[in-house]
Amino acid sequence: MSDTAAPLAATPTFLQKHHFLLRRLHSLSGIVPVGVFVMMHLFTNFQLMVGDYQHEVEFIHSLPALFIIEVTLWGSIGFHAALGLVYTFTGKANVDRYAYQDNWRYTLQRITGILALIFIFLHIATLRWRWGFFGWFTPFFVAGPDGTPLVSATTANALQHSKLVLILYIVGVASVVYHWCNGLWTAAISWGLTITVAAQKRWGYVCATLGLVLAIFSAGSIVGAMTYKVSDAERAAMQAAIERHEQGLAPIEKSSEH
């Protein structure tokens, strides 16, 4: 046999060389902090129906380490999403040949991952970055006549205003919930925590229960938003914010108290 170097195609890529580490970091980032944030975020949104959503949102924005939390969160989401896309487009499912439950779960995990990523982008772009899509702009953190941010009103108005936004929200949140809960189930296998079939089945019940709870939180937030009565004063404040946005002016918001 010749002593010449092996072909380039036979040389392990970075992903192949560090497959074990990257797989575990990928699953870990999906659990902490991304998964934990998902649960907290959906519970906060649930307050639209059962609690004081305005207070909860203002509390989050008053956290002293909010910037560090956001940087850590966005870094983890970016890492998890980038690596997830690589796995999605390089992996192969067998649903066309072997229609077993695990193969469908494998496929749905990747489909919901892409849908969740699109949803998160649109969600943040419209609410945080104040971008408009298809002529629709959601004026989040609009200040009312007394200087208080109209968090509940703007969230409710976004879903009430457009059926398309409502449908996108439902599909997006459902994708996030499935992707998180199913990913939590597969992560236990990746980390060697559920080796036997019985252990995987028991853990599956836990993940399914968690998914049901988060689905209830999500449904509650939608019901709360759709039944919220937006006052004339709140609509006027949001309309003023939209006009300022169209004119390229900075939004009028409450001071940094929140």
Q: How far apart are CA 170 and CA 45, in angstroms?
A: 13
Q: Is residue 8 part of a domain?
A: no
pLDDT of residue 138: 64
Residues 6+ apart with CB under 8 A from 100: 94
What end-to-end distance do the CA atoms of the chain give, in Å?
72
Query: CA-based angle 84:40:30, to the nearest 5?
Result: 20
Q: How far apart are CA 56 and CA 254, in angstroms?
A: 16
pLDDT of residue 92: 65
Confidence bin at 157 (pLDDT 50/70/90): confident
Average pLDDT over residues 229-252: 78
pLDDT of residue 252: 59
State the amino acid at position 215 in one-letter form: A
Q: Is residue 118 part of a domain?
A: yes
Quote the mean pLDDT of the chain.
Answer: 83
Is the pLDDT reported for residue 98 higher than 60?
no
Instruction: Supply the CATH number for residue 241's domain.
Output: 1.20.1300.10
Q: Is residue 37 part of a domain?
A: yes
Confidence bin at 258 (pLDDT 50/70/90): very low
Residues 6+ apart with CB under 8 A from 75: none
**Taking the alpha carbons of 163, 164, 166, 167 in that order, is the dihedral positive or negative?**
positive
pLDDT of residue 190: 86
Confidence bin at 6 (pLDDT 50/70/90): very low
Q: How far apart are CA 157 and CA 169, in angstroms?
A: 13
Out of 24-28, 138-142, 195-199, pick the least confident: 138-142
Confidence bin at 80 (pLDDT 50/70/90): very high
Q: Is residue 2 part of a domain?
A: no
Question: Tokens 């929140």, residue?
Answer: 258
Q: Is residue 177 part of a domain?
A: yes
Is the pLDDT reported for residue 1 higher than 50?
no
> 159-190 pLDDT, tens per residue?
888 888 899 999 999 999 999 999 999 999 98
Q: Is residue 11 part of a domain?
A: no
Confidence bin at 4 (pLDDT 50/70/90): very low
State the amino acid at position 80 in one-letter form: H
Q: Is residue 174 part of a domain?
A: yes
Expressed as residue numbers, the domain containing 178 is 25-246
pLDDT of residue 250: 63
> 43-74 pLDDT, tens per residue?
999 999 998 898 888 888 888 889 999 999 99
pLDDT of residue 159: 87
What three-state secondary structure class fits 164?
A: helix
pLDDT of residue 158: 83
Q: Is residue 122 part of a domain?
A: yes
* Chain centre distance of CA 203: 23
**Taking the alpha carbons of 53, 54, 57, 60 in that order, is the dihedral positive or negative?**
negative
> 219-240 pLDDT, tens per residue?
999 999 999 998 888 888 888 8
Number of domains in the chain: 1
Is the pLDDT reported for residue 13 higher than 80?
yes
DSSP string, 245-258: HHTTPPPP---TT-
- Number of neighbours of residue 16 by Cβ within 10 angstroms: 9
Give the CA diameter of the chain: 84
